[in-house]
Structure 1
C-alpha cells in the first residue's frame, strides 16, 4: 500500500479522495489550513495524520515542507488545494506558489498529481506580473505548465495534471453539473496505480483530454519556473 499526502484535504475533492484511498488501505496524511480545520477533519478520518500550514503564507509553506519531509518519504503527493473566489494575489499564492514551493522543497515522491481545471484553456498569462494578474483560470494554466515542466525535468517521477470537472463541492457550488465521484476518481487512480509509465498527461475522468498547447512550450515552462524562483527565492532542483 502507498503513503499519500494530499493538500487541501479537509473538505471537497481532497477529503473525498482521502476517504476513498484510506478505505483501500493506503496510509493517508491530510493537510489543514489551521488547527480548527484539523480538528474538524479528524472527526472524518480519525486514524490519519494531519499536517497544518496556511498555503497563503510562504513561511508556513516552508514549515509544511519540513513537516512532510520529517514523516516521509511519500509514494504520492497530490496538490489538490485551491481557491477560486479570492483576490488575484491570494489565488496566485495558494494555487501556484504553494505547490511550486512544496515541489521544490519536499523530498521527491514516486508520483506527483496536480489538480488543474478545464478553465485553463485560453487563459491569460502575464509572466511579468504573476502576483497581481493571476485569476483562477490563469492559475490553473500555470499549474498545468508546472506539471508539464516537472514531468520533463524529473522523468523518473510519474507526474500528471487532472481536470476534476465542474463538480458540486463548496468551491464548485450547487450549480455544478459534473459527476462528483468522477471528480476525485482520477486522483485516486493516479495515486494508487502501479503503472509508472503514465506521466506528463492531462486527464479528465481518467482519460487524456484536450489542453492548452502553451503547456508544452519548454521555453514558456522555463520562463514560468524562473519567475517562480525569483518570487520565492527557491530554485526547483533539476
Structure 2
C-alpha cells in the first residue's frame, strides 16, 4: 500500500537517502530543507532517481518555534493524511550557539522542533490507520538539565547534543503512551555515519550513510515493526534495546514535559 511520508532534514544525509529508497517504492514523499533552491534541486534529483513524480517539499528553518509552526500550517494545508512522519532533522555544530529565543541550537532543532511539529500535525497523522512517527535519537544521550533546556545556562555542544537526543527519546516514550493508534519509535540510526553533520563535528566516520537510511526505510514501512511503539531501536546493535535510564524514569519524563510546555507557552 502506498503511503504519504514526510521526512524533515532530507535534502542531504540519511534523510535524503531514505527519501530516495522510499520513493522507489512509489510512496508519496514530502522532503524538507532550509534552502529553497537546494530543496527544489533535491526534489528533481529524487524524481529522476526513483522515476516517481510524486515528490514534493517544504522549506523551513527549524531553529525557531514560529518557523516550525508555519511549516506545520503549510503541511496541514496541503497534506490531508500523513502515514509516516520521520523527524530526521538534526544539528550538532552551528554557526550560532543559540537561536533568536535564547535556546541552545541543539535543543531548538533536535528537540523543540520535532516536539512542536508532531503535536501540530497529530490530527492529520491520526487519519492514517497505520500511522508511524519515527524520531531520530542517538547513541549519545545524557541527563537533561532543565536549566540548559530553558536557556538559563550554557553547556558545550557535545553536552547539548546528547541532552537534546535524550529529551527527544523521553518525549517519544511519553507520546507513545498517549497515542493508542499511532506507533512512536525512537531510533539511533548508527554512530558516526558518513554524513556532512558527522564530518563537520568529528572529521571521521565509522559506517556508511546507507546504514542509517536503511533503518529509516525499514522503520517507516516494514511489517517487521508493525504494532511496536514506545521502543528504542539501536542500529549500532541492529535491534531494539535500552535507551538511557532516564528515558524510563516517569518522574523525570513528567518534569521534562511540564518544563517543555511552559517554555513553549
Structure 2 length-normalised TM:
0.82
Partner of 2:93: 85
Residue 143 of structure 2 contacts residue 246 of structure 2 at CA under 8 Å; is this kept in 1? no
1:119 matched to which residue of 2?
140
Deviation readout 1:189-223 (Å, 9 max, x if unpaired): 11113453111111123511232111011222222
Are 1:187 and 2:216 counterparts?
yes
**Aligned pair 1:154/2:183, yes or no?**
no
Q: Say whether 1:130 aligns with 2:149.
A: yes
How many Å separate the matches in 2 of 1:137 and 1:107? 26
Task: Name 2:229's counterpart in structure 1.
Answer: 199
**C-alpha displacement of 1:177:** 0.6
**In the TM superposition, what whole-angstrom CA distance separates every residue of 1:165-191 from its partner, at most 9, and x where no partner exists?**
120110112511124322121211111
Alignment correspondent of 2:244: 212
- The alpha-carbon deviation at position 8 of structure 1 amounts to 0.4
Q: Give a deviation string over 1:51-78, Cα, whole Å, max 9, x none.
A: 1111012211111111121213100000
Distance 1:150 1:57 in 2: 22
**Counterpart mapping for 1:165-176 below 5 A:** 165=190, 166-173=192-199, 175-176=204-205
* Bigger Rg over Cα: 2
Q: Which of residues 46, 51, 59 in structure 2 aligns to 1:52?
A: 59
Unaligned regions of 5+ residues in structure 1, if any? 234-238
CA distance in 2, matches of 1:43, 1:153: 38
| Two-structure CA RMSD over aligned residues (Å) | 1.7
For residue 64 of structure 1, the aligned residue among 56, 60, 71 is: 71
Equivalent pairs, count:
231
Shift of 1:129: 3.1
The 2-side partners of 1:135 and 1:19 are apart by: 31
Shift of 1:7: 0.4
